[in-house]
Amino acid sequence: MLLKETDQVPARVFVLVPCGGIGSRALAPGSATPKQYQRVCDRPLILHTLKVFEALPDLVTAVAVVVAAGDGFIDSVLQGRREIVLRCAGATRADTVLQGLQAWQASTTGPRPEDWVLVHDAARCLLEPDLVRHLVALCQDDEVGGLLALPLPDTLKSESAGRVLQTLERSGKWLAQTPQMFRCGRLIEALQAARATGLPVTDEASAMEALGLAPRLVGGSMRNFKITYPEDFGLAQALLQCAKDRTPSP
């Protein structure tokens, strides 16, 4: 059994992909297609993101994508695929994750409170299966859970009016990535508490931290970057094409 058993019931691994925004910073002027549906290597970006979890059938129980109620792209993009579509995205990422988890948990096939949920950014399309396995292996027995992250490699500056205010100490600082892995029930509790107090939450770990918990940091990869700006599409395409060229022909 890969995962620790809780009350003699195996804890399972579910994946939730928040997909409710449009990613305006990454889009060219006038583009009407949300970032996650832009084509990279002739496929919508989100299909590259979901491909990693297809390679983990022994680990991942199910994958759900959380979209806005009026999303007009997801049905055609996921046609014929097995991912679950939850049409309940909110105004923020935290709202989208919370509402997606609540809707999924309420279904007969959703995660139980003790099950693990990996929340992964739709725009991180270069995640590799081995990195997911590594995260799960290191966090499956952790009391809190954890996330992929990288130690900050560059000199860090603070700014005022477009000029350097000061150089900040970078030791001990990490760049958060995804997936972020937490028990479903505890993550819902953390996100509900953040909503009730008005705490701004930019990732799942920050909600857990607000409960006084310390998620585990697991070394990620520079390849697992998030497409944020228009030029990032070109980099992602080059890396995906390079990986494809290295794959032996059948």
Structure tokens at 114: 């003790």
- Beta-strand ranges (E) seen in 127-192 are 145-151, 156-160, 163-168, 174-183
Instruction: Give pLDDT tens digits for 221-230.
Output: 999 999 989 8
Burial 148-178 (b: 16+ CB within 10 A, else e): bbbeeeeeeeeeeeeeeeeeeeeeeeeebbb
**Residue 242 confidence (pLDDT) above 90:** no
Whole-number pLDDT of residue 47: 97
Q: How confident is the model at residue 249 (pLDDT cuts 50, 70, 90)?
A: low
**Residue 25 confidence (pLDDT) above 70:** no
**Residue 1 confidence (pLDDT) above 70:** no
Whole-number pLDDT of residue 9: 67
**Residue 243 confidence (pLDDT) above 90:** no
2 vs 212: which has the higher pLDDT:
212
- Side-chain-side CA neighbours of 5 within 13 Å: the count stands at 5
Chain-centre distance for alpha carbon 222: 15
Instruction: Give pLDDT tens digits for 84-100.
Output: 999 999 999 999 999 99
Tell which residue, 204, 187, 228, has the closest CA to residue 92: 204
Would you call 100 helix, strand, or coil by DSSP? helix
What φ, ψ does residue 122 adopt, rounded to 5°? -60, -30
Instruction: Give pLDDT tens digits for 113-154.
Output: 999 999 999 999 999 999 999 999 999 999 999 999 999 999
Domains belonging to the chain, first-starting first, are: 11-246 (3.90.550.10)
Question: By CB neighbour count within 10 A (0-12 exposed, 13-18 middle, 19+ buried), where does 194 fall?
Answer: buried
Whole-number pLDDT of residue 20: 85
Q: How confident is the model at residue 27 (pLDDT cuts 50, 70, 90)?
A: very low
**Residue 29 confidence (pLDDT) above 60:** no
Whole-number pLDDT of residue 8: 55
> Using CA atoms, how far apart are residues 97 and 182, in angstroms rounded to an integer?
12
Output the average pLDDT for the chain: 91
Structure tokens at 237: 């395409």
Cβ contact 226:122 at 8 Å: no
Angle at 71 between CA 66 and CA 75, to 5 degrees: 80
**Residue 28 confidence (pLDDT) above 50:** no
Handedness of CA 136, 140, 141, 144 (dihedral sign): positive
Instruction: Give pLDDT tens digits for 57-74.
Output: 999 999 999 999 999 999
Whole-number pLDDT of residue 223: 95
**Residue 248 confidence (pLDDT) above 70:** no
Question: What value does the mean pLDDT take over residues 211-238?
Answer: 95
